[in-house]
Structure 1
Amino acid sequence: MKTSIIILTYNKLEHTKQCIESIREFTEKDSYELIVVDNNSTDETPQWLKDQKDIKTIFNEDNKGFPKGCNQGIEIATGDNILLLNNDTVVTKNWLENLITALYSDESVGAVGPVTNNCSNAQSIAVPYNNLEEMKVFAEEYNKSNSENWEHRLILIGFCLLIKKDVVDKIGLLDERFSPGNYEDDDYCFRITDAGYKLILCKDTFIHHYGSVSFGADLLAFNYLMVTNGIKFKDKWGFDIGYSCGVNNNIISLMDSPKDKAINVLEVGCACGATLIRIKDIYKNANIYGIEYNLNAAKIAAKNAKILGYNIETDKIECEEDFFDYIIFGDVLEHLYDPSKVLLDLKKFLKKDGYILASIPNVMHYSVIRGLLNGNWTYEDSGLLDRTHLRFFTYNEIRRMFISTGYVDRYCLMVYIGKGPQDDEFINKISELIDDSLKWQLDAYQYIFKAQRIN
């Protein structure tokens, strides 16, 4: 089996040298081919590449951008797998063997990626090393193939993305509308999912990543690309990736069923299903269900979960009673016209010892009160005053809602955000106007409730 490793370069020769030399050091000689696409580098990169005997090269006369450059490399690749690798990475012992083991662990797996020290999407881990030599020692100990450390993901960041060539042939090349780069990897991941394949994050494999060496050099241009390509992504897929693909780990932390139990979980407002996928990773025998208002996001979620409906306030849910162990509302109840009615209607589908798990923003947060005292109640695109919020809750009102609909709250987790000295001063001032027992509610940004059905 051969893997075609495709690397794009644009200046930064020292990083490219480190990357390629690490591939030569830690990858079995006959198991790969190296393809480098140079996007019109103006340093010594082109000459150095010409001097290398084991690299297939493409030299562009202008900067074609990341998606186009990758596509050029894919078109001349002869391997069974395609590996898109940033030139600011340093690979490590057993890196490719581990990734291939995960990639071919099941026919349903379409692509895999490793963890690193510098990455978004919760693909980075804390590392103890201070230089590359220490990094190699760390990685050699870390890179032990173990399927227990694989996670099913909706998105894998493209700094190191290994894809079966059959999958590439099926879904096509990277979408060049995202040139010069950013969001093309997200788009590709959703195309892989839409084609019926899974993406696996290999937490048993680590490589070093400097991060944004090319794009990060011009932060203003980088931020502009993130915004414009984010809009392009939303136009293409019909949902916002930041809003629809997050995992609610706070909600998951309140689940305490035995890991091997066959539990039934419904998430209302499941978006693309990222939280449900994570639950399935933890609870291997779980049956996962979703309800999602956005039809485009629901289509993605349906690849991994059974979708029972789209509008929780109008659709009739076809499901047996006393069925679910958990019903999840991750930042959903505040968007409903009548959240109390929804809680009442869904109660019959919850097992007699089942739980509602809900994350709900706190309108008593000091930032909202400060705005009010300055005469402002300004809606925003996200946050406590999200313009799509229809209902607003304090801690006491949340408890009243649950009690009045037949639930008892068993646990409440508070979520906080960072604040400065001026914020503490403001909290202390307004605390003089309220009972001491309420002061903590000024600081809580969000509540995560675990409420049990009352029989």
Structure 2
Amino acid sequence: MMSESNTIVPVNNNGEVPVSAATNDGAANKTAPSPLVSIVVIAYNHLNYTKQCIESIYQYTSHIDFELITINNGSTDGTEEYFNSLPNTRKINFPENIGVCKAINHGFRIAKGKYTLNVSNDIVVTTRWLDNLLICMESNPKIGMAVPVCDASCNYQQIYLPYQDLEDMQVQAEIYNVSNPDFWEERLKLCTYAGIYRTDLQKSLGGFDEDFNPGSYDDDAICFSIRRRGFKVILAKDTFVHHYGACSFNIEYEKDNTLLYRNKATFMRKFGVNPYVAGLIDYNVLNILTYNGTKDVNILGLGGSYGTTVLQLKNFCKSHGSKNVGLYYFSEHPGNMIELNTICDDCMYGTMETLEERFGSRQYDYIILESDSNQLTQKTELFTILFRLLSAGGQLVCTASSPELYEEILEIFTQLGAELERHENQYYLCFTKDGKNDSEEREDV
């Protein structure tokens, strides 16, 4: 059900919402209960897409208590008139485009719901889209935000559904959208075409960081800020929405082709992290592994990454039925510890001599050596320690950058009694430790 609120929020001559307008919706609403969700839709032209977005929200969300906040960000194609014609909405109108971050934040500031959800105007929502996102958010108070998958995105958030048109898409989405916690993936960062946030959290952050206005790397920044506050960032792979794909924001890139570079530099200055590197998942590592559906799994990563690949391995283990997955990391770089601490059960920066002391209290089903093996000065010693930490039937992945190194690593593990189960072009090597139950059915991850 939609919360009753029919307030047009004015803006001043500078295109800003006065504080009084953002905090006082009139006497009729002072005693009204807060809605469960505040849905914020921002539009800059593309009225045809905007209408599809709004109509889909009404059609597939009417049973949920929500308020709709529409933001016309300087459109010239009738968007303002269309938004003003909608019932039961709170409306913000800017005479000129003030940038995505600033415009969304005006809506975020006046949100009354327990949750705030931003929806791009080129999104078409689907059956149970918000039901599933709410199930995810309500499942754990440490989940700070969640985003559904779609059919047009980067950052490994895109899936394929076999449909011919929007009507067929809705049929396929109804089949697909079945809530399943096994398909909630914890991530370091997400694209936020349709992101749900805890309202108290997004307000404490000040919404999207306006230093990134008009946009680009602003979604990376809010994800990093949320994780550094101790919350999780979740890709809800059990939920699909249709996304036409960056229709409004492409205009910003056309206006300023230096925007990406400037905002990337801003991100690196603020967080000390290369956002592109932080988002890379090495699927070659994940695809060389096999999995037997063990209930409890421990993963140990070693190297110089932010843990993105081993975090995705944890997600894969969950999707194959593991309920308890422990994630641990031994880092080469002290500067990576901030991010690793947000995703790991335990992590440390140190020398090889401290590895077994810190992580030797358990055995690991997966050990992923992300370091360049060619740079290791004590290969035999390190591999011997890792082999001791590997559980019976466990798998260890490392890399060999030359045929000579491949032969050297193969000889070390042969002497340790390990079996080379798989390799990819003699570069990615996957070893297993004797003791695997051969009767267990194993399937590719």
2:100 maps to 66
Distance 1:321 1:114 in 2: 37
2:242 maps to 208
Aligned-pair CA distance for 1:317? 4.8
The 8 Å contact of residues 332 and 349 in structure 2, kept in 1 or not, is answered as yes
SS at match of 1:41: coil
2:39 maps to 5
> More deviation in 1-10 or 249-258?
249-258
Change in 2 beyond 3 A, CA 1:329/1:320 = closer
The 8 Å contact of residues 6 and 82 in structure 1, kept in 2 or not, is answered as yes
- CA shift digits 1:18-52 (9 cap, x unpaired): 11111111112662111122221122212222222
Which residue of 44, 52, 55 maps to 1:18?
Answer: 52
Distance 2:107 2:361 in 1: 54
SS at match of 2:139: coil
1:174 maps to 208
Q: Identity of paired residues, percent?
A: 31
Correspondence list, 1:1-400, <5 A = 1-28=35-62, 31-217=65-251, 224-269=258-303, 271-281=305-315, 282=317, 283-312=322-351, 317-318=356-357, 319-320=359-360, 323-330=363-370, 332-336=372-376, 339=379, 342-344=382-384, 346-351=386-391, 354-360=394-400, 393-400=401-408
SS at match of 2:258: helix
- CA shift digits 1:341-374 (9 cap, x unpaired): 54355444445765431144xxxxxxxxxxxxxx
SS at match of 1:151: strand
- CA shift digits 1:377-417 (9 cap, x unpaired): xxxxxxxxxxxxxxxx3234222134146455513332xxx
- Read off the aligned partner of 1:410 and give its amino acid letter: L
Change in 2 beyond 3 A, CA 1:250/1:223 = farther
Distance 2:125 2:392 in 1: 52
Distance 1:251 1:138 in 2: 31
Structure 1 moving runs of 4+ over 4 Å: 217-223, 311-317, 334-341, 344-348, 351-354, 405-409, 452-455
Distance 2:288 2:40 in 1: 42
- What TM-score do the two structures reach when normalised by structure 2? 0.80
- CA shift digits 1:153-207 (9 cap, x unpaired): 2222100001111322343321111111011111111111111111222222111
Correspondence list, 1:415-430, <5 A = none
SS at match of 2:367: strand
**Aligned-residue RMSD, C-alpha:** 2.7
The 8 Å contact of residues 309 and 317 in structure 1, kept in 2 or not, is answered as no
SS at match of 1:412: strand
Change in 2 beyond 3 A, CA 1:62/1:308 = same
The 8 Å contact of residues 302 and 332 in structure 2, kept in 1 or not, is answered as no
Which residue of 405, 417, 420 maps to 1:410?
Answer: 420
Aligned-pair CA distance for 1:334? 4.2
Distance 2:407 2:394 in 1: 17
Distance 2:155 2:162 in 1: 21
- What TM-score do the two structures reach when normalised by structure 1? 0.78
- Matched residues, number: 393
The 8 Å contact of residues 268 and 312 in structure 1, kept in 2 or not, is answered as no
Change in 2 beyond 3 A, CA 1:400/1:293 = closer
2:409 maps to 401
SS at match of 2:87: coil
Distance 2:314 2:40 in 1: 33
SS at match of 2:324: coil
